Amino acid sequence: MKLFDVYPRFPVEITKGQGNYVWDKEEQRYLDFYGGHAVISIGHSHPHYLNRIKSQLDKIGFYSNSVEMPIQEELAEKLGRASGYEEYFLFLVNSGAEAIENAIKMASFGNDRTRVIAFENAFHGRTSSAVQLTDNPNIVAPLNKGIEVLRLPLNDTDALQKNMNDQVAAVIVEGIQGIGGMDEPSGPFLKEIQSLCQKFGASFILDEIQSGYGRTGDFFAHQLHEGVRPDLITIAKGMGNGFPVGGLLIAPHFKATYGLLGTTFGGNPLACAASLAVLEVYEQENILENVKKTGKDLIEKLRPIKSVKNIRGRGLMIALDFDFPIRDLRQSLMADHFIFTGSAKNPNTVRLLPPLTISQEDTDKFITAFTKAIENIQ
């Protein structure tokens, strides 16, 4: 049997990681400025993270949600305090796409509707409902087309107001668009979504899968804007620092009933241990302050680079636009300078999503290599 070939891969085999670096099978070290799609939050192989998981594995690795699991309650309590959403409920799943699926279900359960407003350049996942909300028709199978999606321009208040009515089940928006290229909903726009959802009985869903968990310097990207309080918040990516875990934060007005939602692997002891380790390291090492400081410093040092036409993002979630395709630039960074970076929907956009533990020394190293790589390809 061979693998189903759906991933365009770089010719690099990564065998280990430590901190902000990974190594290939030839023992070449690479600076990780992509974090495996913004997943690595506290650095590769953090000692506390490893010890937490190993300790849990020594006890029990898995049992289903048919028994009491105090570690889930411990995670919910800690996450509530860290995020400022203590009065919300937590439903644990395995991935961001699952979190989106359950958010859409909760919205539809709540108002018995099937229409959802999403936005241009959004990416919400590849599963049945999530892929319909994603702005990429090439990955939507005919079988997926079961809900009515109205796709509007981001930050277009007039379009939102014209299309909002009592047939809309939910409005879903990313805290900052990821694959779309780091475009961000404005504070007034988020507040208008919230107001219209309240007026028409729709659910306000904030997708913080990539932009959440401290990546912008706030725990959630939307928390920059005071008064924004969505009904449902989806999380994943940095939540488990590489362990497959996701979740849905659910506002108190939603009522749980047995069997309403369900998952076999979601919230398993190992996933909870990994997630607790992440939050504990955030506290111990003041991670959010590091994100604010290093992110600001990195953006300030990127601005003078003449070839960079535009910079978007906050904290350690940054997009750089060029007037040429960035494929050769990323290749040079990897092959000549041993640095991983990311791409976006726009072929002229580089994404930077390093671990939240990144140091100023490593950001300076990146700036030096980045400048040389640009010079080399021009």
pLDDT digits (tens, 9 = 90+) for 120-153: 999 999 988 898 899 998 888 887 877 899 999 9
Whole-number Å distance between alpha carbons of 331 and 77: 43
CA distance 163 to 98: 27
* pLDDT computed for residue 147 by the predictor: 86
pLDDT of the residue at 206: 98
- As given in the structure block, the two tokens for residue 368 are 């030096």
CB 352 within 8 A of CB 341: yes
Could you give the count of Cα atoms lying within 13 Å of 263 in the half-sphere of its Cβ? 17
Q: What is the largest CA-CA distance in the chain?
A: 61
Q: What angle do CA 263, 268, 274 make, to 5 degrees?
A: 130
What are the domain boundaries of the chain?
29-46+286-377, 48-282
- Domain 29-46+286-377: give its CATH architecture: Alpha-Beta Complex (3.90)
Give the pLDDT score at 304. Answer: 94
pLDDT of residue 141: 86
Alpha-carbon distance of 266 to 246, in angstroms, equals 8
| Residue 56 pLDDT | 98
- 320 near 350, Cβ under 8 Å? yes
Say what the pLDDT of residue 128 is.
Answer: 85
Contact 339, 372 (CB under 8 A): no
| Spans of the chain below 50 pLDDT | none
Residue type, 113: R
* Half-sphere CA count of 154, side-chain side, radius 13 A: 20
Residue 292 has which token pair? 């604010």
pLDDT of residue 143: 77
Dihedral sign from CA coordinates of 215, 221, 226, 228: negative
Q: Could you say which of 3.30.360.10, 3.40.640.10, 3.40.50.2000, 3.40.630.30 is the CATH number of the domain covering 48-282?
A: 3.40.640.10
pLDDT at 145: 75
Contacts of 370 (CB under 8 A, 6+ apart): 302, 305, 333, 339
